[in-house]
């Protein structure tokens, strides 16, 4: 059993895609262990994307992630990290295959609908950052 962390980004929430995105994880056979909505504070967005702080698109990315309500979840199941990354598709919607979330619902960066942890280390760090460390799921 493995846990991963996802964010349905502001335009995903604005476009009413929370149910669509979560249902794809559920249909795969994964479980929604925790679920919440809220706004990401700028400081937390900067921390979350700290690995990209030197990129030219960093400020725009932070502005976008803090521009509206998001939906955050812990998804769990066998190989959850890899399965969720496969279901969301490539980072750039132009490269994301049809059938993936980004391939089906997004057209251009940075607007790619959903974030998902990309390794066991980032999953642990992101779950702690956004849900705290309590194990009550």
Contacts of 34 (CB under 8 A, 6+ apart): 73, 74, 131, 137
Q: Should residue 4 be labelled a site residue for ligand TYD when binding is judged by CB under 6 A?
A: no
CB of 52 to ligand TYD, least distance (A): 6
Would you call 115 a catalytic residue per the annotation?
Answer: yes
By rule CB under 6 A, what string of x and - marks binding of each residue 10-49 to ligand TYD? ----------------------------------------
The active-site residue, picked from 39, 48, 83, 115, is 115
Tokens of 27: 């249909």
Cα–Cα dist 45/63, whole Å: 9
The residue range among 13-21, 36-44, 76-84, 111-119 that interacts with ligand TYD, by the rule CB under 6 A, is 111-119
| Torsion angle of C-alpha atoms 15, 21, 22, 28, degrees rounded to 10 | 170
User: Which positions touch ligand TYD (CB under 6 A)?
Assistant: 52, 57, 61, 91, 109-110, 112, 115, 118
């Amino acid at each position: 059993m493995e846990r991963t962390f996802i964010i349905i980004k502001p335009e995903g929430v604005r476009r009413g895609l929370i149910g669509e995105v979560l249902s794809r994880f559920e249909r795969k056979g994964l479980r929604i262990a925790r679920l919440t909505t809220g706004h990401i504070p700028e400081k937390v967005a900067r921390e979350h994307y700290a690995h990209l702080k030197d990129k030219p698109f960093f400020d725009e990315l932070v502005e976008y992630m803090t521009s509206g309500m998001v939906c955050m979840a812990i998804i769990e199941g066998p190989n959850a990290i890899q399965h969720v990354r496969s279901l969301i598709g490539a980072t750039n919607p132009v490269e994301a295959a049809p059938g993936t979330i980004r391939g089906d619902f997004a057209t251009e960066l940075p607007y790619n609908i959903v974030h998902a942890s990309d390794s066991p280390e980032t999953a642990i760090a992101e779950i702690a950052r956004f849900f705290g460390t309590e194990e009550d799921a």
